[in-house]
Amino acid sequence: MKTINLTESTVRDLNQALHDQTVECTEREWEVLEPKGQHNIACGLDQNISVDIKGPTGYFCAGMNKKAHITIHGNAGQGVAENMMSGTVRVKGNASQAAGATAHGGLLVIEGDAGARCGISMKGVDIVVKGSVGHMSCFMGQAGSLVVCGDAGDALGDSLYETHIYVKGEVKSLGADCIAKEMREEHIEELTELLNRAGVDEQATAFKRYGTARQLYNFKVDNTSAY
Amino acid sequence: MCGIVGLYLKNKALESQLGELFEPMLIAMTDRGPDSAGFAIYGDEVPEGSIKLTLRHANEDYDWAGLAGKLKTELNVGVEWFKNSKVAIFKIQTTDVIAEAFISENAPEVLILSAGQSIEILKEVGLPENIAKTFNLSGMKGSHIIGHTRMATESAVTMEGSHPFSTGMDLCLVHNGSLSNHNRLRTELEREGIVFETENDSEVAAGYLTWRLQQGDSLNEALTNSLKDLDGFFTFTVGTRDGFAVMRDPIACKPAVMAETDDYVAMASEYQALTTLPGIENAKIWEPEPATIYVWERSSDEGVK
């Protein structure tokens, strides 16, 4: 295992060392010490390696991740795992706003709470939050699943496309065009599998499903005449 | 962009270290605001019947002793003062109205940055680190302090345009964001008798709070009203003689993170500004909810939400 202490190395040096693993993988296990809330830690990785960050991180940690398995042993700042393509990102603490923003794939697990706009414009990532999520979560979500074991804030799933949303607790309010939907067998299966992958001990049957009513402009066939 | 930071001490034993604890917080926000910085520190109160003013003159060699002497003889009042870079703190045994009127008449080139029993405001153009050094921030004592690092958007990079802004007794405000209805609101507030020194949007927010407090609002009520009357995006930290308050607009896109221990309450735009505080590893850490007012005051020492 290789250990990098961020009071001795810069984030740029760390990220360069991690990016070098894309060309030739010489070390599978990495440990990052004393991150002290710095931004852009472990961004743009593209190799099947594991990175353990021992402390709180700043903005965009694990952004654009591909293949790597990144664990943050602390709280994460804004935009954790934003635009992730594949791999796993796990936050042991809470995550700030826009966690998993625009992410296309992979799994993001937040063991604490997530702030506002969790999964904003998500495009295929699966996000599992053990705690609650803030307002405007899943805004314009396009694909993938958002699982919330706690509560959801205002305007959940506003202007949603096709993301599946599962919430166990209370939803403060639903956003435009987001509605509660029937939990069918296929959804129980999908959710059970997601909870298993995330290592979260919850019963899929305790959750409610939310999704798009498909009533906004983009869903109206009449509007095709505009083109 | 801008960075804001605040530190309110619950444990009085730490008051002698306020500046030392706060300096790294301000410097940590340099990336968010490298063009100017400032802070408002509360402590070293003057008794009732006296007033403390933060005065500034562009010339570092300005004759403050001369001004103090004039105040003493012409108003026949006690004056204590000390100089800190281009700023001088004057403690005068009279009311704010009399002192401020005398200074604007007899030394119109002197700018009054703050007035109150407790507040001192120090701000300059330049890197936060240099400003902290200029004013010897690390050696300062007090009960609470709020600061700002500025990346200018709505007005020029000048000392006058830098934060904190004070428009009323012991009240000041730092702001991260930008207000859209500040011009109209400034005109309305000027009609109510609020005086503005700059074209800055954040000064309008400070002026608005001053006006509401003059109308008899509590700090909590004034902030609640501001949610209705201010249009734009903002995270505010407000300092008063007794404490400080934090509030974000209903969309809450401007960042804020808070930390609380038995010893202190701290707020910052980013967590990295909090990492040097003692016991931060075990502090309660959270992000303030949108459109929610958080107040800590000497009288209660409890967070009010």
Q: Do A75 and B285 touch (CB under 8 A)?
A: yes
A12-23: average pLDDT: 98
**Assigned domain for B231 exists:** yes
* B135 and B273 inside one domain: yes
Q: What percent of chain A has pLDDT over 90?
A: 95
Domain ends where: B117, B142, B162?
Answer: B117
Residues 6+ apart with CB under 8 A from A144: A103, A105, A119, A122, A123, A124, A125, A126, A127, A163, A164
pLDDT of residue B160: 87
Task: Please say if the pLDDT value at position A56 is more than 70.
Answer: yes
**Secondary element (H or E) of residue B232:** strand B232-239
* Residues B131, B146 within the same domain: yes
Residues B13, B33 within the same domain? yes
By C-alpha distance, which of A105, A82, A119, A214 is closest to A159? A214
The pLDDT assigned to B299 comes to 67
| pLDDT at residue B1, rounded to an integer | 80
For A98, name the nearest residue in chain B, comparing CA atoms only.
B253
Do B271 and A116 count as a contact with CB atoms less than 8 A apart? no
pLDDT tens, position by position, B18-74: 999 999 999 999 999 999 999 999 999 999 999 999 999 999 999 999 999 999 999
Q: Residue B236: is its pLDDT beyond 50?
A: yes
Helices B201-214, B219-229: axis angle to 10 degrees equals 130
Average confidence (pLDDT) over A121-147: 98
Q: Which residues of B touch A115 (CB under 8 A)?
A: 287
pLDDT of residue A194: 98
B141-195 pLDDT, tens digit each = 999 999 999 998 777 899 988 999 998 899 999 999 999 999 999 999 999 999 8
Domain with B132 in it: what CATH number? 3.60.20.10
Q: With an 8 Å Cβ cutoff, are A115 and B275 in contact?
A: no
Q: Are B122 and B135 in contact (CB under 8 A)?
A: yes
Q: Of A92-96, A133-137, B250-254, which gets the smallest average pLDDT?
A: B250-254
Residue type, B100: E
Residue bearing the bigger pLDDT, B303 or A21: A21
Give the per-residue pLDDT at B54. 97
Count of domains in chain B?
2
Rg (CA), chain A: 18
Tell whether B33 and B99 lie within a shared domain: no
> B50 with B29, same domain?
no
Range with the lowest mean pLDDT among B109-113, B140-144, B236-240, B298-302?
B298-302
CATH code of the domain containing B53: 3.30.70
Q: B83, B117, B151 — which closes off a domain?
A: B117
Region of poorest pLDDT, from A61-70, A103-112, B165-174: B165-174
Q: Residue B130 has what pLDDT?
A: 97
Cβ–Cβ pairs < 8 A, chains A and B: 36
> Which residues does chain A have within 8 Å of residue B286's beta carbon, measured at their own beta carbons?
94
pLDDT for res B301: 46
Nearest to A37 among B253, B271, B287 (CB): B271
How far, in Å, CA of B171 to CA of B186, rounded? 18
Token pair of B164 as six digits: 């904190």
Domain that holds residue B229: 3-45+126-297
- pLDDT at position B16: 97
pLDDT at B304 over 70: no
* Whether residue B40 is found in the same domain as residue B133: yes
Mutating which of A10, A57, A96, A173 best tests the B interface, going by the most B Cβ atoms within 10 A? A96
The C-alpha atoms of residue A30 and residue B22 are separated, in whole angstroms, by 34
Instruction: Name chain B contacts of A39, Cβ cutoff 8 Å.
Output: 272
- Identify the weakest region by mean pLDDT among A8-17, A212-221, B87-96, B287-296: A212-221
Residue in B32, B235, B272, B292 to test binding to A, most A beta-carbons within 10 Å: B272
Domain A2-221, CATH number (from 2.160.20.60, 3.40.50.150, 2.30.29.30, 2.40.30.10): 2.160.20.60
The per-residue pLDDT for range B237-286, each reduced to its tens digit, is 999 998 899 999 999 999 999 999 999 999 999 999 999 999 999 999 99
Q: Which chain B residues are within 8 Å of A59, Cβ to Cβ?
A: 270
The pLDDT value recorded for residue B305 is 43
Domain final residue, candidates B86, B117, B148: B117
Mean pLDDT value across residues B186-209: 93
Listed in sequence order, the DSSP H helices in B135-200 are: 182-191
- pLDDT at residue B91 is higher than 60: yes
Task: Determine if the pTM surpasses 0.90.
Answer: yes
pLDDT band at B302 (very low <50, low <70, confident <90, very high): very low
**Are B270 and A77 an interchain contact pair (Cβ–Cβ within 8 Å)?**
yes
Domain boundaries of chain A, sorted by first residue: 2-221
Active-site positions of B? 2
Give yes or no for a contact between A116 and A95, defined as CB atoms under 8 angstroms apart: no
